[in-house]
């Protein structure tokens, strides 16, 4: 800046107006801060109490310790439950992602008789309360003399995850530019090659997001699992069962660890996605 | 849009699965709901008697819980809407570069098991937490009032747990609004409130509809919040169904209740969607 | 893939090509031969069917009726990946998940060519972007993407290269530059280019032959000069550049010229430039062929008197005048500002004159406004 503007007038806004304008502009941002705080209160609480030197009952703060983190499987059944949740989660994710992706392609790419009925079929499980899904499946299993347990739980999870997978993948398919596939065919790729080299790679992020969603829904599920797991306990079931007498701090450890792990995965995904767009 | 066979082939596995494990169970549910216990038989043995009065009995006996479920679900949905809308608005229209990060912050708490979070609320709102003593010190509540085991706690828990289901569709819908339409509104003499009422709100309606549905439907059938944060006075229909299935073995009643719940929700949803005018939800 | 289709070459022949969607006919009984090695332009307004025609040539749409031949091979029903034809799409359609190198190599790899390095580098040099090989399409500017889309098509040495309004998204300066470059590349590489555009200046700059399309049919085909100097229909006269069309009747003849009566004034029109089929005729003259002169100044050739200058627009290179004639019509005149003569001013009384050989004659039953304005309803995608 070479010369200062000498005689120009600076617009004068009275302080009271300045304050009220600042508030008006930032009111919603202030609200957001409060809202986020509210969202994180129980998470922070869970995390804090994971360090509680509590013994079996983690209700009152007794003292700080790292023991729980060093020995996360210390409480009985905690790690069994966790492993069950993870196993069921992977299987449910695997099957629901495959089935759901196929359905998403069918509905999203083809116009055929029964397309709107198919859409309805997908919407129904999402519109049914979990308790109805869980209870009805239990009834069916009992009729066929199948005992609740591991595989019935996997099946139950797939039922309610499929619809979410379909919706997620369908959204991704819809955003695909059809001209990219035309360009591929124009460049000597037949239908199969076009799908393999252009369509699938471009839909893949949607499929990955759907799989992640399915896993989270499955891992965190309680109601449907409660009806169909029998004697097997998943992590949420473990927490519920021990809620009365006091949840061991190890559960807090696992909960917090899952939180940080998931956060790390999501943030990494974001950074990787952003790197692809910025010039190398 | 090519060969006609392909879509059907793609749909086959998924729909066969859903038919077997979704449609059939519901049909079975309907069938069970009209059964009666076999006289003199073991617990859990029923015969089909097409006893439709099961429904009447079940409903009459549990109308209190039915009513309560829908009341709680409605309140929780409205509260969630009130809390989530400004949040979604803030992220979509004022988020700027931090948009994605803020979205992650909304979803992140839900990486911790929802049961852990609900139990955490129980302890936070309980005698040993910091909320109650603080409120008592400021005289806002009396020394004998507790926050846990109340309908307040249950509704609060439900609102909290379903918040991301409300926030994300709202965000998606608000994010789609071209900010220049808001500028145009200001250019045409509308102040902040009017712009919101006449431009932002109508344009975000699809998100409102999706969010309220995604919140209300699971909320009506929920029983975990009621179990952990409530008391026998706050029992929801979900609790009843659960106990009839897993504790007291009374499948016909439980089936009748489940089926009724499902049908009522479907009817409400259909009316709601039609009134709101959204065509394709999925 | 049929080996025979892939190796077809020769002139492109469209025979009675028609494409209908229900009641709507996008391309109506179109027949056309595009000679091998030429730069051919399909020119027309939005909705005229030019892009549909292009997509049928590429194989991305199937004709309802008609056939397409490349040389002696009938390619009408072959799939796009079986045709030795490549397309440069309007929005470039570069694969976002592949690098520039892989984008360009895509066609080569699908054809089973293992060693792609040399071919890809060569074509990158041709479009002057060798340093971008490892970037992704989203990291490139619009102009760069356009050149890569071109490179991706050219590297396959197709018998026919189709360009679907490839310069539409570029700004004016870049567009002009690309027009020259494309023409140069076509000559260098020797491929047949078929260029679809609605920009008549672009078509005239680049093409050897232009086919003007309107409502699914070809109105006229020829070299840019032919079309401009001697349009056969009002549409072509108005769409390509601008025209003054004056209604008149043929009242006599003088050797190999008609005498045409325009509202009482008589002008001369060479018979071989008349397309009228009875005595009703539109006399057409391009605005730059007109000369304005003040009353009393000597003039030659065809003369129209009684003009009254209504509007003057100074454009730098030229001055444009609207001259109102006694019969109420306003004629457009473009005068080059090349002789330092003071321009005419509003309200002056003037004469208009021009060399008779520049006149063209259109049928009297033509719609004189065809092709001159953009009909708002035609602004949709074809």
How buried is C186 (Cβ within 10 angstroms: 0-12 exposed, 13-18 middle, 19+ buried)?
buried
How does the average pLDDT of chain C come out, rounded?
89
Question: What is each CA distance from C100 to C43, C95, C113, in whole angstroms?
Answer: 31, 9, 18
Task: Between B267 and B96, name the one with better pLDDT.
Answer: B267
| pTM for the full predicted model | 0.81
Task: Suggest the residue from A132, A153, A155, A192 to mutate for an interface test with chain B (most B CBs closer than 10 A).
Answer: A132
Measured between CB atoms, which of A190, A202, A277 is closest to C81?
A190
Partners of A106 on chain B (C-beta within 8 Å) are 6-8, 10-11
Q: Which chains touch B (3 or more CB pairs under 8 A)?
A: A
User: Chains A, B: CB contacts under 8 A, how many?
Assistant: 248
Question: A110-156 pLDDT, tens per residue?
Answer: 888 888 888 888 988 988 889 899 989 988 898 888 888 999 999 99
Question: A159-181 pLDDT, tens per residue?
Answer: 999 999 999 999 899 888 899 99
Partners of A24 on chain B (C-beta within 8 Å) are 192
**CB–CB contact B123 A166 (8 Å):** no
Look at residue A29 and tell me whether its pLDDT is greater than 60: yes
* Domain coverage including residue A127: 75-248
The pLDDT value recorded for residue A276 is 59
The pLDDT value recorded for residue B45 is 67
The pLDDT value recorded for residue C160 is 92
Look at residue A245 and tell me whether its pLDDT is greater than 80: no
For residue B41, give how far its alpha carbon lies from the nearest alpha carbon of chain A (Å). Answer: 17
Judged by DSSP in three states, C321 sits in strand
How far apart, in whole angstroms, are the C-alpha atoms of residue C27 and residue C35? 21
Q: Which residue of chain A comes nearest to C162, CA vs CA?
A: A186
User: Chains A, C: CB contacts under 8 A, how many?
Assistant: 71
For residue A207, give how far its alpha carbon lies from the nearest alpha carbon of chain B (Å). Answer: 16
CATH of the domain at A194: 1.10.3720.10
Which run of H or E residues covers position B208?
Answer: helix B205-221
The pLDDT value recorded for residue B50 is 76
B268 pLDDT tier (thresholds 50, 70, 90): confident
How does the average pLDDT of chain A come out, rounded?
86
Total structural domains within chain A: 1
For residue C56, give how far its alpha carbon lies from the nearest alpha carbon of chain A (Å). Answer: 12
Which run of H or E residues covers position B37?
Answer: strand B35-37
Chain C within 8 Å of A201 (Cβ-Cβ)? yes
What mean pLDDT is predicted for residues B75-84?
A: 94
Chain B within 8 Å of A78 (Cβ-Cβ)? no
Question: C227-254 pLDDT, tens per residue?
Answer: 999 999 999 999 998 999 999 999 988 8
Partners of C152 on chain A (C-beta within 8 Å) are 187
Enumerate residues 102 to 131 of chain B having a beta carbon within 8 A of any beta carbon in chain A: 102, 104-124, 128
What mean pLDDT is predicted for residues A36-42?
A: 90
Question: What is each CA distance from B204 to B173, B200, B244, in whole angstroms?
Answer: 5, 6, 41
Question: B243-252 pLDDT, tens per residue?
Answer: 888 887 788 8
Q: Which chains touch A (3 or more CB pairs under 8 A)?
A: B, C
What mean pLDDT is predicted for residues A203-207?
A: 91
Q: Which residue of chain C comes nearest to A178, CA vs CA?
A: C93
Tokens representing residue B35 in the block = 């059964």
Q: If you write DSSP's letter for every residue of C262-295 in order, what string do you get?
A: ETTEEEEEEGGGB--SSSEEEEEE-GGG-EEEET
**CB–CB contact B116 A131 (8 Å):** no
**CB–CB contact C81 A198 (8 Å):** no
**CB–CB contact A140 B24 (8 Å):** yes
For residue A79, give how far its alpha carbon lies from the nearest alpha carbon of chain B (Å). Answer: 14
Task: Between A19 and A91, name the one with better pLDDT.
Answer: A91
Q: Which chains touch C (3 or more CB pairs under 8 A)?
A: A
Beta strands in chain C (DSSP E): 12-21, 24-34, 39-43, 65-70, 73-74, 85-88, 160-164, 192-197, 209-214, 217-222, 244-254, 257-262, 265-270, 280-285, 291-294, 302-314, 318-324, 330-336, 349-354, 360-363
Measured between CB atoms, which of A188, A198, A280 is closest to C81?
A188
Chain A within 8 Å of B98 (Cβ-Cβ)? no
Chain B within 8 Å of A148 (Cβ-Cβ)? no
HSE-up of residue C69 (Cα within 13 Å, Cβ side): 12
Measured between CB atoms, which of A179, A189, A198 is closest to C89?
A179
Query: Looking at domain C242-363, what is its CATH homologous superfamily?
Result: Nucleic acid-binding proteins (2.40.50.140)
Q: If you write DSSP's letter for every residue of chain A in order, what string do you get?
A: --S---SPPPP---HHHHHHHHHHHHHHHHHHHHHHHHHHHHHHHHHHHTTB--TT--SS---B-SHHHH-TT-STTHHHHHHHHHHHHHHHHHHHHHHHHHHHHHHHH---TTHHHHHHHHHHHHHS-HHHHHHHHHHHHHHTTPPSSHHHHHHHHHHHHHHHHHHHHHHHHHTS-HHHHHHHHHTT--HHHHIIIIIHHHHHHHHHHHHHHHHHHHHT--HHHHHH-TT---HHHHHHHHHTT---HHHHHHHHHHHHHHHHHHHHHHHHHHHHHS--
**CB–CB contact A127 B22 (8 Å):** no
For residue B40, give how far its alpha carbon lies from the nearest alpha carbon of chain A (Å). Answer: 20
pLDDT lower than 50: segments of chain C: 1-3, 375-382
Q: What is the interface pTM, i.e. ipTM, of the complex?
A: 0.82
For residue B234, give how far its alpha carbon lies from the nearest alpha carbon of chain A (Å). Answer: 17
How far apart, in whole angstroms, are the C-alpha atoms of residue C79 and residue C59? 6
Query: Looking at domain B52-276, what is its CATH homologous superfamily?
Result: MetI-like (1.10.3720.10)
For residue B33, give how far its alpha carbon lies from the nearest alpha carbon of chain A (Å). Answer: 11
Which run of H or E residues covers position B48?
Answer: strand B46-48
Task: Between C373 and B130, name the one with better pLDDT.
Answer: B130
Question: What is each CA distance from C295 to C26, C59, C338, C353, in whole angstroms?
Answer: 51, 61, 22, 12
Task: Suggest the residue from A180, A185, A186 to mutate for an interface test with chain C (most C CBs closer than 10 A).
Answer: A186
**CB–CB contact A190 C79 (8 Å):** yes
Question: B1-30 pLDDT, tens per residue?
Answer: 455 678 888 899 999 999 999 999 998 888
How buried is C96 (Cβ within 10 angstroms: 0-12 exposed, 13-18 middle, 19+ buried)?
middle
Question: What is each CA distance from C8 to C12, C37, C56, C161, C192, in whole angstroms?
Answer: 10, 14, 17, 14, 13
User: Between helices B114-124 and A235-243, what is the axis angle to 10°?
Assistant: 20
**CB–CB contact B282 A170 (8 Å):** yes
Q: If you write DSSP's letter for every residue of C218-266 in order, what string do you get?
A: EEEEE-HHHHHHS-SSHHHHHHSS--EEEEEEEEEEETTEEEEEETTEE
Spans of all domains in chain C: 3-229, 242-363
**CB–CB contact B221 A132 (8 Å):** yes
How far apart, in whole angstroms, are the C-alpha atoms of residue B223 and residue C224? 79
For residue B121, give how far its alpha carbon lies from the nearest alpha carbon of chain A (Å). Answer: 6
Partners of A261 on chain B (C-beta within 8 Å) are 111
**CB–CB contact A188 C110 (8 Å):** yes
Chain C within 8 Å of A203 (Cβ-Cβ)? no
Q: Which residue of chain A comes nearest to B228, CA vs CA?
A: A243
**CB–CB contact B24 A124 (8 Å):** no
What mean pLDDT is predicted for residues B102-121?
A: 85
Enumerate residues 191 to 220 of chain A having a beta carbon within 8 A of any beta carbon in chain B: 191, 216, 219-220
φ, ψ for residue A154 (rounded to 5)? -60, -50
For residue A103, give how far its alpha carbon lies from the nearest alpha carbon of chain C (Å). Answer: 24
Q: Which residue of chain C comes nearest to A185, CA vs CA?
A: C81
Measured between CB atoms, which of B11, B117, B217 is closest to A106?
B11
CATH topology of domain C3-229: Rossmann fold (3.40.50)
What mean pLDDT is predicted for residues B249-273?
A: 86
Strands C160-164 and C85-88: parallel
Question: B154-178 pLDDT, tens per residue?
Answer: 999 999 999 988 998 899 888 888 8
A279 pLDDT tier (thresholds 50, 70, 90): very low
Chain B within 8 Å of A22 (Cβ-Cβ)? no
For residue A7, give how far its alpha carbon lies from the nearest alpha carbon of chain B (Å). Answer: 32
Which residue is associated with the tokens 């124009």? A186
Regarding chains A and B, contact by 3 or more CB pairs under 8 A is answered as yes
Measured between CB atoms, which of A180, A193, A279 is closest to C95?
A180
* Nearest residue to A251 via CA among B118, B82, C296: B118
Q: Which residue of chain A comes nearest to B264, CA vs CA?
A: A128
The pLDDT value recorded for residue C374 is 54
Task: Suggest the residue from A20, A25, A28, A32 to mutate for an interface test with chain B (most B CBs closer than 10 A).
Answer: A32
């Amino acid at each position: 800046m070479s010369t200062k503007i000498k005689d120009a007038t600076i617009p004068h806004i009275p302080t009271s107006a300045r304050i009220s304008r600042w508030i008006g502009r930032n009111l919603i941002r202030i609200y957001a801060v409060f809202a986020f705080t509210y969202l994180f209160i129980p998470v922070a609480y869970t995390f804090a109490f994971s360090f509680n030197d509590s013994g079996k009952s983690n209700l009152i703060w007794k003292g700080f310790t790292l023991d729980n983190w060093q020995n996360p499987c210390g409480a009985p059944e905690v790690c069994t439950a966790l492993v069950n949740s993870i196993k069921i989660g992977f299987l449910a994710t695997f099957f629901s992602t495959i089935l759901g992706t196929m359905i998403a392609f069918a509905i999203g790419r083809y116009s055929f008789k029964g397309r709107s009925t198919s859409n309805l079929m997908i919407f129904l499980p999402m519109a049914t309360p979990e308790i109805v899904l869980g209870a009805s499946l239990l009834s069916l299993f009992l009729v066929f003399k199948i005992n609740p347990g591991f595989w019935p739980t996997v099946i139950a999870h797939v039922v309610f995850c499929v619809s979410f997978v379909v919706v997620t993948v369908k959204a991704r398919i819809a955003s695909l530019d059809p001209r990219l596939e035309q360009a591929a065919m124009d460049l000597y790729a037949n239908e199969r090659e076009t799908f393999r080299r252009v369509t699938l790679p471009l839909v893949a992020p949607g499929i990955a997001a759907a799989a992640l969603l399915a896993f989270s829904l499955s891992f965190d599920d309680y109601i449907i699992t409660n009806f169909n797991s029998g004697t097997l306990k998943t992590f949420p079931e473990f927490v519920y069962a021990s809620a009365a007498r006091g949840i061991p701090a190890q559960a807090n450890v696992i909960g917090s660890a899952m939180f940080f792990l998931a956060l790390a995965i999501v943030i990494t995904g974001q950074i990787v996605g952003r790197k692809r767009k910025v010039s190398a | 849009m090519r060969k006609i066979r392909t879509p059907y082939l793609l749909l086959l596995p998924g729909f066969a699965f859903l038919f077997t494990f979704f449609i059939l169970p519901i049909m079975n549910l309907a069938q069970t709901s009209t059964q009666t216990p076999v006289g003199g038989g073991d617990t859990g043995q029923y015969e089909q008697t097409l006893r439709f009065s099961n429904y009447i009995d079940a409903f009459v006996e549990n109308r209190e819980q039915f009513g309560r479920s829908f009341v709680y679900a409605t309140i929780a949905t409205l509260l969630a809407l009130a809390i989530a809308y400004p949040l979604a608005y803030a992220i979509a229209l004022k988020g700027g570069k931090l948009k994605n990060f803020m979205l992650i912050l909304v979803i992140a708490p839900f990486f911790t098991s929802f049961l852990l979070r609900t139990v955490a609320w129980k302890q936070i709102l309980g005698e040993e937490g910091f909320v109650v003593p603080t409120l008592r010190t400021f005289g806002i509540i009396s020394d004998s009032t507790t926050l846990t085991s109340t309908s307040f706690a249950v509704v609060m828990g439900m609102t909290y747990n379903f918040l991301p289901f409300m926030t994300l569709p709202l965000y998606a819908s608000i994010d789609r609004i071209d900010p220049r339409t808001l500028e145009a509104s200001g250019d045409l003499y509308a102040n902040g409130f009017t712009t919101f009422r006449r431009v932002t709100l109508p344009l975000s309606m699809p998100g409102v509809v999706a969010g309220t549905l995604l919140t209300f439907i699971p909320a009506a059938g929920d029983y975990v919040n009621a179990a952990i944060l409530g008391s026998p006075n706050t029992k929801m229909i979900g609790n009843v169904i659960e106990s009839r299935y897993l504790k007291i073995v009374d499948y016909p009643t439980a089936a009748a209740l489940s089926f009724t719940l499902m049908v009522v929700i479907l009817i409400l949803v259909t009316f709601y969607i039609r009134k709101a005018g959204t065509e394709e939800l999925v | 893939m049929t080996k025979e289709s892939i190796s077809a070459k020769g002139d492109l022949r469209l025979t009675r090509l028609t494409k209908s969607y229900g009641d709507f006919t996008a391309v109506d009984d179109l027949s056309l031969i595009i000679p091998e090695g030429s730069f051919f332009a399909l020119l027309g307004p939005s909705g005229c069917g030019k892009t549909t025609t292009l997509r049928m040539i590429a194989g991305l749409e199937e004709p309802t009726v008609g056939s397409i031949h490349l040389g002696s091979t009938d390619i009408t029903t072959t799939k796009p990946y079986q045709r030795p034809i490549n397309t440069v799409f309007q929005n470039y359609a570069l694969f976002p998940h592949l690098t520039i190198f892989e984008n360009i190599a895509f066609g080569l790899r699908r054809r089973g060519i293992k060693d792609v390095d040399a071919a890809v580098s060569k074509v990158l040099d041709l479009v002057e972007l060798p340093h971008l090989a490892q970037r992704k399409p989203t990291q490139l500017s619009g102009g760069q993407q356009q050149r890569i889309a071109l490179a991706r098509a050219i590297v396959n040495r197709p018998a026919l290269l189709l360009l679907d309004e490839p310069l539409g998204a570029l700004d004016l300066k870049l567009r002009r530059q690309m027009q020259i470059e494309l023409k140069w590349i076509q000559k260098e590489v020797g491929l047949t280019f078929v260029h679809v555009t609605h920009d008549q200046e672009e078509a005239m700059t680049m093409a050897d032959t232009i086919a003007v399309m309107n409502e699914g049919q070809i109105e006229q085909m020829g070299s840019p000069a032919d079309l401009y100097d001697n349009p056969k229909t009002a549409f072509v006269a108005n769409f390509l550049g601008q025209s003054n069309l004056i209604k008149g009747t043929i009242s006599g003849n003088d050797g190999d010229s008609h005498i045409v009566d325009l509202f009482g004034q008589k002008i001369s029109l060479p018979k071989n430039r008349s397309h009228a089929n009875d005595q009703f005729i539109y006399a057409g003259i391009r605005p730059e062929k007109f000369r304005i002169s003040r009353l009393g100044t000597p003039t030659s050739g065809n003369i129209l008197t009684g003009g009254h200058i209504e509007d003057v627009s100074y454009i730098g290179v030229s001055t444009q005048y609207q001259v109102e004639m006694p019969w109420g019509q306003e004629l457009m005149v473009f005068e080059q500002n090349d002789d330092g003569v003071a321009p005419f001013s509003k309200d002056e009384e003037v004469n208009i004159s021009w060399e008779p050989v520049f006149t063209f004659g259109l049928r009297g039953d033509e719609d004189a406004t065809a092709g001159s304005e953009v009909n708002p309803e035609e602004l949709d995608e074809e």
